[in-house]
Structure formats: structure tokens, C-alpha cells
Structure 1
Amino acid sequence: MVVQSLKAAGAALLAWLVARVWLGDPMALMAPWVALVLVQATVYSSLLQAGRQFAAICVGALVASGAQAVTGDTTGALALSIPVLVLLSNWPRFGDQGIYAATTAVFTIATGTVSAAAVGHRLGQAALGAAIGVAVNALVLPPVHLRDVRENLAALVRDTGELLHTLAADLRQGEWDGQTAADWLAATARLQRRLDALDSARGWSRESLRLTSGLLRALYRAPTVALPPEQEDERFGRVTGHVTALTRTLAVAADENRTPAAPDHTVLSRYGELLELIGDHCLSEAGRLAEAGARAEAEPDEETQARMRELYERLQRALYEDDAGQGPARTAVLGTLVLQAENLWAELVPGVRADDTGPAE
């Protein structure tokens, strides 16, 4: 933010020097004004906004000049042109630059310049300011937004692991109720906000690399390291969905006014241990993702995998033998929980299935 602010100020000052000092323009207002607002968060957005703003300025200058020529009066010209231009500023093609049509009209009418030469002069000043603003943004410390992607992805995975640990602890202690489930649901909502922040950061990263020179990025900034691939965003987005689903299942089971009932404490304790193992792997993945250039994801050690399979088999046995005799409501809840745990494991450790070995000894 500091760098971009200084660049915007520098672009405005440079445009003023070029227009007022070097070109001797006594009305050198438009050039620094346009240069200032066109130092955007990315080079691509600067170029896009330059086109939109220049179009809005052209429309504002032409409409204002026409209104003043028709009315021959400053107040009448303002009354005739400003309502039309403010309405036109909402046109989606202008984006957030449409208001400059109206402000340009105010400047044009206030100075009383309606000749073709005066209008052309203002447009030339706008073009000069746009060129300087875009050039400064592209050539001086070009803004590249890469760090936020890695940070948001690592934070999403870390928060997922911590939520799984919280779920595991509550289930194993057996002290959870509707309020506890509400806290879990609030935590899953925070995961969704993390996922939205990751999506936004990925979009900024993708846009900031457009129209920027790799040579200049290497010259002015630390060399950009490879980001986690976008497939990682999709994978952990699915993980977030599975965690949300199992949390909602538990919340329904905790509601005394709903039919589905929670499995007994012994079964939930095993399920909590299974979630804890999955949460451990999430935290390991978060540490890997936080490090630039870290190794590819590693599988859990054999002991962890063996324990996971043992827990999975015991839950399957409870599903088909124990809980089946306690009614379909409990069976439905446990079946959903086991399915979501298996989905989580399949996403986090793609090469290892929860049930790819025989019965645990």
C-alpha cells in the first residue's frame, strides 16, 4: 500500500511537470488528476481503467461543450448536462470510472471553454495523464500479488485441522450439546470465509501477472516462486465441504427436536480419534503449504495409516452390527459420519484408501 501510494503521487507529480513545466500548459489539471487515479492495484486493471476513464472523460467533455453551446450559459449548461451524465455514469461498460464523465463536464463548463480546440486540449491532457499513470505502474515496482495465495491456502488448511481437532476432543469427552454444535457450525462458516478469501487472492494473483514483465518483476522484487497449483484450492475446497457436511450431521444429531440421534459414546470416541488423525495430517499439510518451494505432500507414516484403518473398520463394524440394532436413525447418522471421514481421507491422501487392507488384527 505504501509503495502504490508513493507511485500514485509520483505519477501525478510527473504528469504535472510534463504538462505544466515542459509543455507550458497554464491549465495543466487533467493530466496529474488522471495519472493519480490510474495507479491501480495491478497493471492490467490500470490499463483497463485507463480505457474506461478516457472514454468517460471524452463523453463528459463533448456533452458539456454541446450543452454550453446550446444554452450559452454556465448554469443552464450544468443543469442540462449533469443529470444526463450522472445517469450515464451507471452504465456497466464504464465500471467505476463513469462518474468522471460528470466531473469532467463540471470542469469543462466552469472554465467556459467550448471550442473544438479547448475540448481537444482537455482530451490530450487526459491521454497524457493516462499514459504516465499506466507507465509508472507497469515499469516502477510492478504490483504482483502472490504471497496472499499461499498464506490464505495454508490458513484454510490449518483452520480445517484445528476444527477437526476441536470436533475430536468434544466427541471423545462426550460433553457436547446444541450450543457446542452451534460453535462448530460457526467455525465452518469461518472456513467458508477463508475459502472465499483464497478465491479472491487467487484472482488477484492471476490478474497481477498479466501484462507485467518477468524481467522487471525479477529486477524490482524478490524472484517470484511457484505458487501452489490451483488444483490445491479445489482439493481443499472439497475438504471444507466434507467438514461442513459432517459438522451439520452432528448438529442435527444434537438437536433434541430432530429424529436422527447420535451414536453411543464408545463409537463417537473412535470417530473422534479418527478425526484427530485426519486433523494431524491437515496441520502437516498447512506447514508444507506455508513454505515456498516445499516438497510435495507426503503420506502419513505407516503406523498412522494402520491406526486409521483399524478405527475405520471398527466404525464399519459398529455401523453394520451394533448401531443397526439401535434403529435406523442412529445408523443413518453414523453412516453419514463414516462416509464424510472417508471422503476427507480420500482428498487429503489420494493414494491411500481407508479400507485398502484386510481387517485389523
Structure 2
Amino acid sequence: MAEHTGTRPRPAGAPGRGRAARLRQWLGRALSGSGQERHAVVFVGKSTLAATAAWAVAYHVLQAESAAFAPFSAVLMLQVTVYQSVWHSLRYVAAVAAGVAVQLVFGFLFGTGLATFALVAATAATIGRWRRLGSEGAQVGTAAYFAFSTFVSAASGLERLSQLGEIIELVALGCGIGVLVNVLVLPPLRYRSAEYGVHVLARSLCDLMSDMYPALRQGQLDEDSAARWRDRAARLGPLVSQAQSSVDLARESGVYNPRRVLRRQVGRRAFSGYQAVIDALERVTYQVGSMTRSLTQCPRDGDGPEHGEFFRRYGDLLAALTHFTRLLGDLDEDRLDEQIPRLCSAAEEAGEQCRGLAGYAQDSLPLADPARPYGILLAEATRLMEEAQYTCDVLQRTVASP
């Protein structure tokens, strides 16, 4: 079969059509999947709703002069779980109240001079380092600075008290609305579980590899495509962190979630298995990132027909791994018994493709040549196949354990 290994000429207008096609693909993934694109759409929607509701109450109902504090606080409370939203909101309100209190005390005692501001700044920074405030400690200083500005501009002592109290009121209002939106609109408590961490990461990997393997099979590897794959692989990093934290968040949500008494107590076994699966997916993510970087360094003219055949076989391997990650993206702890055989069959198929690729490359290509990335790509393919098999082994042990 003839393979085209060079870069195809681009007709006029092709870049615009390419961008439109990528936009359609992005929107399709956002509407139909659960990957990073869907996360972005959901976060934008929830942020818009929370901010708009907070502004409407603060400005139109309460007619507050500093109404912007409410939507600002509401958006900050859209944390990854309802549990975290509640605790972040409590710490945030406490931090703002502390900053306002510092300004209130020093302002009435020492006036509004520059020395007073320096004293307020130093005290707020010191309080902000209190570990109980966590990441919200920085808000002590921010609140103190805004409070100082409000204090200076107010005409009387009574007006100063009123406006500083309004800041705390608006922050509490915004936090409450943000938590309420997080609870009622696509609540992340339902999302953030060990199972969901596997789903998001596996589906994002599936989306990336499903775009890669047709191009490799058809000999359409070019610099622009390889660069886009590399950038998409790099953006998977935050999903890895989210997936790793999802196990702890799932346990955390189970402990503080009153609905836990209504659910079957299968979480302990699943968590132990899913932690190992997420660890394996983390390694897969880094391997895919390394693979895409190697593809950007691949010569376009290649080594004759062997070059094209190598990438055709590489595309076959990625197609098998795409099928595996697609199945992993639908993993359900209540149906592991029926899903694991299909996963292991897909992993075995990837193993066969990898062995065929390795045999061909060893016979036909200069794997030891550092100027050509064939050896590196083959090593990365082998590791990907091994991680797929390891994931199946982990899930089998999870189901078999008492």
C-alpha cells in the first residue's frame, strides 16, 4: 500500500477551515463528553449564574454601594465539591471579617494616615499566615486594603461603620449564593468520586488518541498536527491532579455526605482499586505527552516506505488504546464484573498490535539512530501497552478481593 509521508500542500483558505473544524470538534466534545471541554462549559455556566444572581440581589435588592463584592465572592466559591465550597466560604468570610476588623480598630484609634495603613498592612499579613485560614489567608490583606479605602472616603464615623459592615454582608451573601449554585446546579458531589476521576482522564486521553491514529494511519503526520497534539497533551496535566485528588475527595464526601446511608457500601474496595488505576492513567498521560513531543521531532520525508508502514502500524496501536480508554471512560463500579473482560480483551488487542509494531521496527528501521525517534516512539508504545495490561490486572484484583 502506498504511503504519503511528506507534508501535503495546503489550498487557499485551508487554515480557516481547519480552525472551524477544530472548533466543531471542541464543541462536540463539550456537548457529548465529560472531559476538560465539558468542565470548561459547566464552569462558565455556573460562574455566570452565580455572579448574576449575586449582583442582582446585592445591587437591585439591597442597593449596596459596593455590590461587586457579592459576585466576586460567589464565583470564588465554585469549588470542586460542595464540602470544599462550604469550608472555603467559611474561611473566606472569616478572612474578610478579620481584615475589616483590623482596619476598623486601627482606623478609629490612629486615623487615616500613611503610618496607619502600614500598621494595617503588617497586621493583616500576619493574621493571613494563620494556617487555619488556609489558602484564604491572603484575603485578610485584600479585605483590609478595601476597607481602608472605604474608611478614608466615608464622611462620618457612622457611615464608616455602615459601609464596613456592608462589605462583610456582601461577601457572606456572595459566598452563600456560590455554595447554593454549586449544590443545585450540576453538583460536583455527584461528579467528584474516584470513578469520575477515571472517567474524565480516560475520556480526555481517548479524545486525543482518536484524533491522532487516523492521521498516522493515512500518512498525514505534519508539523501543525503534531504541535496541536503536543499542546492538548500538555493541557491534560490539571486533569491528572484532579483525578489524583478525586480519591481523597470521594472519601471526604462520603464521610460528610448524609446520603451515604442510602448508598450501598462498596466504596472502600473501589477506592483502593481506583487509586491504582488513576496512578496508571497518570503514567499513561505523561507517556502520551512524551510521544507527542517525539512526533514533533519526526522527519517528514522518513526512510522510504518503511517510515510510512511504521506509522500505519503505530496508528493501529493507538486505535486499540483508544478503544481501551473509551471502555475505561465508561467504568462503573456496579458493573465491573461484566466490564473487566471487555477491558482486558482491549488491552490484549493493544498488546498484539504493540508486538507486531516492535517486530516490524526491529527488522526494518534504524532504532538506535539518535537522529530518528523510532526507538523512542517504540519504547513509549511498549510502556502504554504495559500500563493498559496493568490497569486490567488491578481491576481484576479489586473485584476478586473480599
Question: In 2, distance between residues paired with 1:336 and 1:80?
Answer: 62
- What amino acid maps onto 1:295 in structure 2? L
Contact 2:50 2:178 in 1 (8 A): no
Q: CA offset at residue 166 of structure 1? A: 3.0
Contact 1:262 1:330 in 2 (8 A): no
Are 1:321 and 2:363 counterparts? yes
2:390 aligned counterpart, secondary structure: coil
- C-alpha change, 1:295 and 1:5, in structure 2 (3 Å) is farther
The answer as to whether partners of 1:82 and 1:105 remain within 8 angstroms in 2 is yes
Answer yes or no: is 1:154 the counterpart of 2:199. Answer: yes
Indicate the structure (1 or 2) with the bigger Cα radius of gyration.
Answer: 1
* Match in the other structure for 2:36: none
Q: Write the distance in 2 (CA, Å) between the matches of 1:141 and 1:327.
A: 55
Structure 1 equivalent of residue 222 of structure 2 = 177
Deviation at 1:169, TM superposition (A): 1.8
Question: Structure 2 unaligned runs (5+)?
Answer: 1-45, 79-84, 130-136, 394-402
TM-score when normalising by structure 1: 0.62
Displacement of 1:330 in angstroms is: 7.9
- State whether residues 63 and 81 of structure 1, in contact with CA within 8 Å, keep that contact through their aligned partners in structure 2: yes
Residue type matched to 1:179 in 2?
Answer: D
The corresponding residue for 1:273 is 316
Which of 143, 162, 165 is the aligned partner of 2:210?
165
SS at match of 2:373: helix
Letter in 1 for 2:95: R
Q: Distance in 2 between matches of 1:203 and 1:96?
A: 29
Question: Which of 286, 292, 297 is the aligned partner of 1:241?
Answer: 286
Counterpart in the other structure of 1:295: 336
| Map 1:206-221 → 2, pairs under 5 A | 209=253, 213-215=256-258
Paired amino acid for 2:296:
A
Q: Name the CA shift for 1:165/1:330 in 2 (closer, same or farther; >3 Å).
A: farther
- The residue that corresponds to 1:357 in the other structure is none
Q: Could you say which residue in structure 2 is the equivalent of 1:359? A: none
Letter in 1 for 2:368: P
The structural deviation recorded for 1:207 is 11
Q: In 1, distance between residues paired with 2:265 and 2:179? A: 17
CA distance in 2, matches of 1:254, 1:279: 25
Residues 1:59 and 2:102 are matched in the alignment: yes
Residues 104-115 of structure 1 correspond to what in structure 2 (within 5 A)?
104-105=147-148, 110=154, 112-113=156-157
Amino acid at match of 2:355: E
Residue pair 1:250, 1:262 contacting (<8 A) in 2 also: no
* Counterpart in the other structure of 1:47: 90
1:81-135 deviations in Å (ceiling 9; x for gaps): 3465357656653412323224444555646549xxx99x99x979x969x8799
List aligned pairs for 1:1-361, cutoff 5 A. 1=46, 2=49, 40-41=77-78, 42-68=85-111, 77-78=112-113, 80-82=115-117, 84-85=119-120, 92-93=128-129, 94-105=137-148, 110=154, 112-113=156-157, 143=183, 145-149=188-192, 153-192=198-237, 194-195=239-240, 198=242, 202=246, 205=249, 209=253, 213-215=256-258, 229-254=274-299, 264-288=307-331, 295=336, 298-300=340-342, 304=346, 307-323=349-365, 326=366, 328-329=368-369, 333-350=373-390
Q: Distance in 1 between matches of 2:68 and 2:348?
A: 67
Residues 261 and 330 in structure 1, CA contact (< 8 A), matched pair in contact too: no
CA deviations over 1:279-308 (Å, ceiling 9, x no partner): 1111111122xx685537624477656654
What amino acid is aligned across from residue 175 of structure 1 in structure 2?
Answer: Q
Paired with 1:67 and 1:125, the residues of 2 have a C-alpha distance of 20
Q: Quick one: structure 1 residues 309 and 230, their matched pair in 2 at CA, closer, same or farther if it must change by over 3 Å?
A: closer
**1:183–1:100 CA distance, 2 compared to 1 (3 A):** closer
Q: Secondary structure, in 3 states, of the residue corresponding to 1:235?
A: helix
Q: Distance in 1 between matches of 2:180 and 2:265?
A: 16
Normalized against structure 2, the TM-score is what?
Answer: 0.57
Quote the offset at 1:183 in angstroms. 3.0
Do the aligned partners of 1:274 and 1:311 also contact (CA within 8 Å) in 2? yes
CA gap 1:277/1:106 in 2 versus in 1, 3 angstroms? closer
Cα offset for 1:195?
3.8
Please list every run of 5 or more consecutive structure 1 residues that lacks an aligned counterpart in the other structure.
17-28, 69-76, 354-361
Change (3 A) 1:261 1:207: farther
8 A Cα contact 2:202 2:281, kept in partner: yes
Q: CA deviation at 1:178?
A: 2.7
Higher helix share: 2
How many angstroms apart in 1 are the aligned matches of 2:58 and 2:275?
35
Q: CA RMSD in A?
A: 5.4
Aligned sequence identity (%): 16
The alpha-carbon deviation at position 64 of structure 1 amounts to 0.5
